[in-house]
Amino acid sequence: DAGVIQSPRHEVTEMGQEVTLRCKPISGHDYLFWYRQTMMRGLELLIYFNNNVPIDDSGMPEDRFSAKMPNASFSTLKIQPSEPRDSAVYFCASSSPPHGYTFGSGTRLTVV
Amino acid sequence: KQEVTQIPAALSVPEGENLVLNCSFTDSAIYNLQWFRQDPGKGLTSLLLIQSSQREQTSGRLNASLDKSSGRSTLYIAASQPGDSATYLCAVIGSNDYKLSFGAGTTVTVRA
């Protein structure tokens, strides 16, 4: 298996633009998680899905953030409009109990 | 809410010395515990996964123990090498919600 695949690896965008991050989980995993990592706040859980259904989105910072999982092999995290304070590394992870989490390589987002 | 604490925040040792990294968590209702390694600018690599019913797991020079009742886990790295230099993250998976809660990490530097 190729692991959890995220794209793009790097994204530089101007403030106010829409940003879409993509994730392909490991086949057969029924949980998918989106995390954000910054120096100040460490790793924060944004939202997670179980069997393509959003279970907890309490970590989504505000309405500018949205996430979807239209099928078991694809998820998106969208920021619209983007702001400089959204600059961070965004990780996607998938899992299937009793196994642990597998993380993707992350998307480094810079909003200027 | 699960709180995960890692001590120390940073550690610098000469090559060959054994490393001891500590992790504590406040809620003992865990599904399992996972140790990760993160190199600068990179993603999270899983090192060891300990099920809640287990006391320890071993992989090569790495050994992780778990004392669920006292809310503690320890990662031991034997005979450290410069290539072990990285940030080590402890993460707890909740038994009720399957969410992964992270500590802030221990940054290890092994001097040649």
Strands A107-111, B72-77: pairing is unpaired
To probe the interface with A, which of B99, B100, B101 has the most A CB atoms within 10 Å?
B100
- Please state, in angstroms and rounded to a whole number, the distance separating the CA atoms of residues B30 and B68: 8
| DSSP one-letter code for A53 | E
Cα–Cα distance, B40 to A39 (Å, whole number) = 12
- Contact residues, chain B, for A104 at CB < 8 Å: 43
What would the pLDDT profile of B17-46 be if each residue is shown by its tens digit?
999 999 999 999 999 999 999 999 899 999
pLDDT of B77 strictly over 90: yes
How open is the CA angle B104-A97-B86, to the nearest 5 degrees? 30
The Cα-based distances of B105 to A9, A39, A63, B55, B75 in angstroms read 23, 11, 30, 21, 12
Q: How confident is the model at residue B96 (pLDDT cuts 50, 70, 90)?
A: confident
Average pLDDT (B54-65) is 96
Q: How far apart are CA A100 and CA B3, in angstroms?
A: 19
**pLDDT tens-digit series, residues A40-62:** 999 999 999 999 999 999 999 88
CA distance A70 to chain B (A): 21
Dist. CA B106–CA B90, nearest whole Å: 9
